């Protein structure tokens, strides 16, 4: 059943990332093929199997948030607010002139306030329950980020968080898109944030054998679709969007960046962490997204892949793309943003949707770096090591999370 009623466009985007804390810097660094992976500075890693990550650099929360208030927030909320501020500013919206019950916020985070959780656990164990901060719970819970954003701008529309591991922010974007389509809001702020480069975060993923351990060359560690990949690289940051109904955006003369035309969800129903080997769940999410968009496979020019740099995940996604797109699969460009910024977990979908939107806007695809010895089982055009100019009329952004959660979003150039 086609439930589309309104067209939905993107009018603002904001980024906090390991390769830049604003959209312009972020995008240019990606086009230049420069990665943000280096040794971890946040804690002593001498006893850890993995000693590197893609950290956000040069970020000061007090550039965006009052000092007293910022101390009552976890880092993932700092990132969310900063990225939302940029997205709103770029959109040109003036919320004082808006019906605020028609503006909402939906954001995703796979884990939420891990830094706060670790600090408060330590306080409990070392100093007892009386030393637990009264702000512990509201600093930690994933839904506090959209809550704070709504408070910041005085927005009374739909407000909640999505939690689906690495698909969290793509689910958030999908639900914000559907909310506007169905008439539940005129404007939505959406995306995701994550900040779990912490001892428990890195140690936990190490225990699962999920992370690369290429400590001798961390800048080469994130290498999606390469034969020598050995796991993903942890990243952090936020990617936020402003979505509007087309009517609302046109009524105020907004600069429309692109249009979202379809979203597809699915489940692998296979394993808690491993993808279905032939990408069956990914096949379903991509097909659902294309059906919702009422588009044919040969209309898609570019896929921003989930592309994590894990041995099984990259092959499963490649198989899924070939299954859905057939011969057209090799005519498209594919690239993995994670090759440069690592895996932002619950924030990855928001940031990667933005890269797909920039490709649609500017007709250029950023590279997949470190692709030096392409895996024979991964036999598509992954835009190896150098950006490629090409017309990108439509793109697809994939996000797949632990638990078998799959989201695919289709976006295209805006046309009247």
Task: Indicate whether 171 and 100 sit together in one domain.
Answer: yes
Q: What is the pLDDT along the chain (416 residues), one digit of tens a residue?
A: 344 589 999 999 999 999 999 999 999 999 999 999 999 999 999 999 999 999 999 999 999 999 999 999 999 999 999 999 999 999 999 999 999 999 999 999 999 999 999 999 999 999 999 999 999 999 999 999 999 999 999 999 999 999 999 999 999 999 999 999 999 999 999 999 999 999 999 999 999 999 999 999 999 999 999 999 999 999 999 999 999 999 999 999 999 999 999 999 999 999 988 888 888 999 999 999 999 999 999 999 999 999 999 999 999 999 999 999 999 999 999 999 999 999 999 999 999 999 999 999 999 999 999 999 999 999 999 999 999 999 999 999 999 999 999 999 999 999 98
Active-site residue (options: 306, 366, 378, 405): 306
- Alpha-carbon distance 382 to 227, whole Å? 13
Which of the listed residues 251, 281, 308 is the one where a domain comes to its end?
251
- Alpha-carbon distance 257 to 16, whole Å? 19
Q: Name the burial class of residue 326, with classes exposed (0-12), middle (13-18) and buried (19+) by CB atoms within 10 angstroms of its CB.
A: exposed
Q: Is residue 206 part of a domain?
A: yes
Pairing assessment for the beta strands 258-267 and 302-304 based on DSSP bridges:
unpaired
Q: Is residue 286 part of a domain?
A: yes
DSSP state of 39: E
Q: What does the block give as tokens for 125?
A: 């164990």
Task: Indicate whether 94 and 177 sit together in one domain.
Answer: yes
- Alpha-carbon distance 367 to 334, whole Å? 9
Task: Indicate whether 194 and 316 sit together in one domain.
Answer: no
CATH at 143? 3.40.47.10
Backbone phi, psi, residue 322, to 5°: -65, -35
Nearest to 286 by CA among 274, 272, 304: 304
Q: Is residue 259 part of a domain?
A: no
Q: How many domains does the chain have?
A: 2
Query: Residue 404 is part of which domain span?
Result: 265-412
Task: Indicate whether 244 and 273 sit together in one domain.
Answer: no
CB 209 within 8 A of CB 310: no
Task: Indicate whether 244 and 269 sit together in one domain.
Answer: no
Q: How confident is the model at residue 373, as a pLDDT? A: 98
Task: Indicate whether 141 and 56 sit together in one domain.
Answer: yes
Task: Indicate whether 239 and 293 sit together in one domain.
Answer: no
Q: Is residue 260 part of a domain?
A: no
| Three-class secondary structure of residue 50 per DSSP | coil
Q: How confident is the model at residue 180, as a pLDDT? A: 98
DSSP state of 276: P
- Alpha-carbon distance 269 to 259, whole Å? 31
162 CB neighbour count, 10 Å cutoff: 28
Q: Is residue 123 part of a domain?
A: yes
Active-site residue (options: 78, 166, 258, 378): 166
Which of the listed residues 223, 251, 279 is the one where a domain comes to its end?
251
Task: Indicate whether 116 and 13 sit together in one domain.
Answer: yes
Task: Indicate whether 19 and 151 sit together in one domain.
Answer: yes
Nearest to 371 by CA among 268, 228, 183: 228
Q: How confident is the model at residue 248, as a pLDDT? A: 98
Task: Indicate whether 203 and 229 sit together in one domain.
Answer: yes
Task: Indicate whether 227 and 270 sit together in one domain.
Answer: no
DSSP state of 95: G
Task: Indicate whether 224 and 371 sit together in one domain.
Answer: no
Q: Is residue 86 part of a domain?
A: yes
366 in active site:
no
Q: Is residue 257 part of a domain?
A: no
Q: How confident is the model at residue 276, as a pLDDT? A: 85
Q: What does the block give as tokens for 89?
A: 């500013």
Which of the listed residues 225, 251, 277 is the one where a domain comes to its end?
251
Q: Is residue 2 part of a domain?
A: no
Q: How confident is the model at residue 4, as a pLDDT? A: 53
343 in active site:
yes
258 in active site:
no
Active-site residue (options: 343, 366, 378, 405): 343
């Amino acid at each position: 059943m086609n439930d589309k009623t309104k067209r939905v466009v993107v009018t603002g985007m904001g980024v906090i990332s390991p390769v830049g804390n604003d959209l312009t810097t972020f995008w240019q660094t990606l086009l230049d093929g420069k990665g943000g992976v280096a040794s971890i500075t946040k804690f002593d890693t001498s006893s850890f199997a993995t000693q590197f990550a893609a950290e956000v650099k040069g970020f000061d929360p007090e550039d965006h948030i009052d000092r007293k208030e910022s101390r009552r927030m976890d880092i993932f909320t700092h990132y969310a607010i900063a990225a939302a501020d940029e997205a709103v500013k770029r959109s040109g919206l003036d919320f004082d002139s808006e019906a605020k019950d028609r503006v909402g916020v939906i954001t995703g985070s796979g884990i939420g306030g891990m830094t706060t959780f670790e600090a408060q656990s330590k306080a409990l164990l070392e100093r007892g329950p009386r030393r637990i901060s009264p702000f512990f719970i509201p600093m930690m819970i994933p839904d506090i980020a959209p809550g704070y954003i709504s408070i910041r701008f005085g927005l009374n529309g739909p407000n909640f968080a999505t939690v689906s591991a690495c698909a969290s922010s793509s689910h958030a974007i999908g639900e914000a898109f559907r909310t506007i389509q169905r008439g539940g809001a005129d404007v939505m702020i959406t995306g995701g944030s994550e900040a779990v480069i912490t001892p428990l975060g890195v140690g936990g993923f190490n225990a699962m054998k999920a992370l690369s351990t290429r400590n001798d060359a961390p800048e080469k560690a994130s290498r999606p679709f390469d034969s020598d990949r050995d796991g993903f690289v942890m990243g952090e940051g936020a990617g936020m969007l402003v979505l509007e109904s087309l009517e609302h955006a046109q009524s105020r003369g907004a600069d429309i960046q692109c249009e979202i035309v379809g979203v597809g969800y699915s489940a692998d129903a296979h394993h808690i962490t491993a993808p279905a080997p032939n990408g069956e769940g990914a096949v379903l999410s991509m097909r659902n997204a294309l059906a919702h968009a009422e588009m044919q496979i040969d209309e898609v020019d570019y896929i921003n892949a989930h592309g994590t740099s894990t041995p099984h995940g990259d092959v499963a996604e490649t198989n899924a793309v070939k299954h859905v797109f057939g011969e057209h699969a090799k005519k498209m460009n594919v690239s993995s943003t994670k090759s440069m910024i690592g895996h932002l977990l619950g924030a990855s979908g928001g940031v990667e949707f933005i890269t797909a939107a920039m490709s649609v806007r500017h007709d250029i695809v950023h590279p997949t770096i470190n692709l030096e010895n392409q895996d024979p089982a991964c036999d598509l055009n992954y835009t190896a090591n150098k950006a490629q100019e090409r017309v990108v009329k439509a793109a697809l952004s994939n996000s797949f999370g632990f638990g078998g959660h799959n989201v695919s979003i289709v976006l295209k150039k805006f046309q009247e």
